[in-house]
A and B are shown apart, each in its own frame.
Chain A
């Protein structure tokens, strides 16, 4: 792997990787059972440099901000490298956001260039806010011939023969602006520097070294901090290969394991659970005798790997299970949301260790991860090398807010010094999560101090961001909360949102209003919907500028009513 201490920027490190392993495969793009593209490091360079050159011809300069909105595919990585090569700042946006939300974040990021997949561009062009789009140059991928591109250029044809100029960037300069939330309220654009990424990559690869021959299966969106690091920067700087799968469907994920002999994969708890369900079903369908043999082998594997994983032994003992995963799988990584210990244990007993981790975009992705020395299903592991974790204001049981200090912490929230100052205090990142460090140095999480939820898909949902969906509701005032913020409980599963409604004086919550509420709720993406409502008959506490004092209102509600008062929608 590259010694990342020698490099100043992601562009420089990636450029060195492309020279170091020219003939190794770096990227495979698969869609269902079809392989759509395959690149060696040399071919990747040959695809990216003409794009970089054309971008420079179009006026792209050092520090230019360029957004990418694309599903998981090779053009994402090729475009990102071209942007870094030109000294640009990458703004990776979530393709699952609505066009209106994407437009809002494009405006906030002040991106000048946009690289976008055709179907997403079509939605943006049809959006009401399109006329206010501030980007000056748009490249569209995979557009059908004859399609109206609204003045945008075709990615596939946007090339220049001229040798592009590599633009160096400093370690402390911004590499990416990554939005951790804020599509409806106050955008949180995490400004991550080249140093943040290089340090994070060094810490991760020290624990889990990749090398040529390793094949990493990428199904999470590349805009997500985890996949950007573990499914792009990490493998590239180690000479490994990434297999991009353009679908999340379980049957094609299973097929990709055997077809591409996958070594590692990162997933969110929802996908891990889906794989677990599939395996449990297959085990249950076995004839009684074979099932008994399998259970004995699983028990034996568990006993023999109690201290540490032994993949070779597990593959021999449980050959059929491992063959179903391609026979080369060494480990899964899981993060983005809480994973049940029983699921982690299930896979460990089969000889497939799951590195359960914890992190956030503000911390440059991963803060802690399980090192399997020994495997623990009840924690999110130990801090990565170079990352300090401490617990603030711990209660009697040692539980308090998790704070983090390291070179991987973002420099700031874009254009928001106030929120930056609230989040990074004396060099420590306040995560808003509640945890405890045990005697073995492992971090255990117990809930959140902050008003937000995380879905099992790893989506962070901030209540403020969805309130626009309820604007105009015929009530005096309303406010959305995370139910666990109103009524704290030491759990990170089944998190829900609740809307607190203060009806107009003398008016009750009638059926018409409930229907209106339900209809608005349905228009939200499924994982952003509120679970129920709570009626509140007192005026909300307000600031001088007439904003709701959320903390104070939550405190009043907490003191007055309990969770059972919530009416499920």
Chain B
């Protein structure tokens, strides 16, 4: 099983790729709504990308109240 750190790194890499921004511009504690200018539907799009990558299923409600990459990685980690 991967560590939280490696999961967080993967999430950051996927977000950078998905939204076409340089990876080094994103940090674990960044608020992705603000940093990437996302609305909640676009954030769900990212969630789908993450699901495919980690081969897990995250219900929409898992994103509720989550706005930074680290917390998102924690939610994923619980399902790995």
Q: Point out residues on A near B: beta carbons under 8 Å.
A: 71, 95-96, 98, 119-120, 246-251, 270-271, 274, 456-457, 522, 525-527
Residues of A within 8 A of B33 (CB): 526
Determine if A249 and B67 form an interchain contact, defined as CB atoms under 8 angstroms apart.
no
Closest to A457 in B: B40
Residues of B within 8 A of A119 (CB): 59, 61
Determine if B48 and A251 form an interchain contact, defined as CB atoms under 8 angstroms apart.
yes
Interface residues on chain B, size class: 10 to 19
The reply on B2 being an interface residue by CB < 8 A is no
Q: How far apart are A52's CB and chain B's nearest CB, in angstroms?
A: 28
Q: How far apart are B61's CB and chain A's nearest CB, in angstroms?
A: 6
Q: How far apart are B72's CB and chain A's nearest CB, in angstroms?
A: 13
Residues of B within 8 A of A246 (CB): 59-60
Residues of A within 8 A of B40 (CB): 248, 270, 457, 526-527
Residues of A within 8 A of B47 (CB): 249
The residue that B67 contacts in the complex, of A96, A98, A274, A522, with Cβ under 8 A, is: A522
The reply on B65 being an interface residue by CB < 8 A is yes
Chain B contacts with A in 45-64, Cβ cutoff 8 A: 45, 47-48, 59-61, 64
The residue that B60 contacts in the complex, of A249, A274, A456, with Cβ under 8 A, is: A249
Q: If A522-B31, A522-B67, A526-B33 touch, does A249 touch B39 (CB 8 Å cutoff)?
A: no
Q: If A248-B60, A249-B48 touch, does A456 touch B39 (CB 8 Å cutoff)?
A: yes
Q: How many A-B residue pairs have CB under 8 A?
A: 45
Closest to B44 in A: A249
Selected A-B contacts with CB under 8 Å, 26 pairs: A71-B60, A71-B61, A119-B59, A119-B61, A120-B61, A246-B60, A247-B44, A247-B60, A248-B60, A249-B41, A249-B47, A250-B44, A250-B45, A270-B39, A270-B40, A271-B41, A274-B41, A456-B39, A457-B39, A457-B40, A522-B68, A526-B33, A526-B34, A526-B40, A526-B67, A527-B40
Closest 7 pairs between A and B when the two form their complex, measured CB to CB: A526-B33, A249-B44, A274-B41, A247-B60, A526-B67, A522-B31, A270-B39
Give A96 to B34 CA distance when docked, in angstroms. 20
Chain B contacts with A in 17-52, Cβ cutoff 8 A: 31, 33-34, 39-41, 44-45, 47-48
Q: If A457-B40, A527-B40 touch, does A249 touch B65 (CB 8 Å cutoff)?
A: no
Determine if A270 and B65 form an interchain contact, defined as CB atoms under 8 angstroms apart.
no
Determine if B65 and A525 form an interchain contact, defined as CB atoms under 8 angstroms apart.
yes
Give A251 to B44 CA distance when docked, in angstroms. 10
Give A434 to B59 CA distance when docked, in angstroms. 39
Closest to B38 in A: A526
Determine if A250 and B61 form an interchain contact, defined as CB atoms under 8 angstroms apart.
no
Determine if B45 and A249 form an interchain contact, defined as CB atoms under 8 angstroms apart.
yes
Determine if B65 and A248 form an interchain contact, defined as CB atoms under 8 angstroms apart.
no
Q: If A250-B41, A457-B39 touch, does A98 touch B60 (CB 8 Å cutoff)?
A: no
Q: How far apart are B69's CB and chain A's nearest CB, in angstroms?
A: 13
Q: If A457-B39, A526-B33 touch, does A248 touch B64 (CB 8 Å cutoff)?
A: no
Q: How far apart are B40's CB and chain A's nearest CB, in angstroms?
A: 6
Give A98 to B61 CA distance when docked, in angstroms. 12
15 additional A-B pairs beyond A119-B59, A249-B41, beta carbons within 8 Å, are A71-B61, A246-B60, A248-B40, A248-B60, A249-B45, A249-B47, A250-B44, A250-B45, A274-B41, A456-B39, A457-B40, A522-B68, A525-B65, A526-B33, A526-B34
Residues of A within 8 A of B48 (CB): 249, 251
Determine if A96 and B39 form an interchain contact, defined as CB atoms under 8 angstroms apart.
no
Give A270 to B48 CA distance when docked, in angstroms. 18
Give A270 to B43 CA distance when docked, in angstroms. 13
Determine if A248 and B61 form an interchain contact, defined as CB atoms under 8 angstroms apart.
no
Determine if B65 and A98 form an interchain contact, defined as CB atoms under 8 angstroms apart.
yes
Give A71 to B63 CA distance when docked, in angstroms. 14
Residues of B within 8 A of A527 (CB): 40
Give A250 to B59 CA distance when docked, in angstroms. 14
Give A274 to B45 CA distance when docked, in angstroms. 11
Closest to B48 in A: A249
Residues of B within 8 A of A271 (CB): 41
Give A120 to B61 CA distance when docked, in angstroms. 9
Q: How far apart are A270's CB and chain B's nearest CB, in angstroms?
A: 6
Q: How far apart are B26's CB and chain A's nearest CB, in angstroms?
A: 16
Residues of A within 8 A of B65 (CB): 98, 525
Which of B31, B41, B45, B59 counts the most chain A CB atoms within 10 A? B41
Residues of B within 8 A of A249 (CB): 41, 44-45, 47-48, 60
Q: How far apart are B58's CB and chain A's nearest CB, in angstroms?
A: 10
Give A331 to B48 CA distance when docked, in angstroms. 28
Residues of A within 8 A of B68 (CB): 522
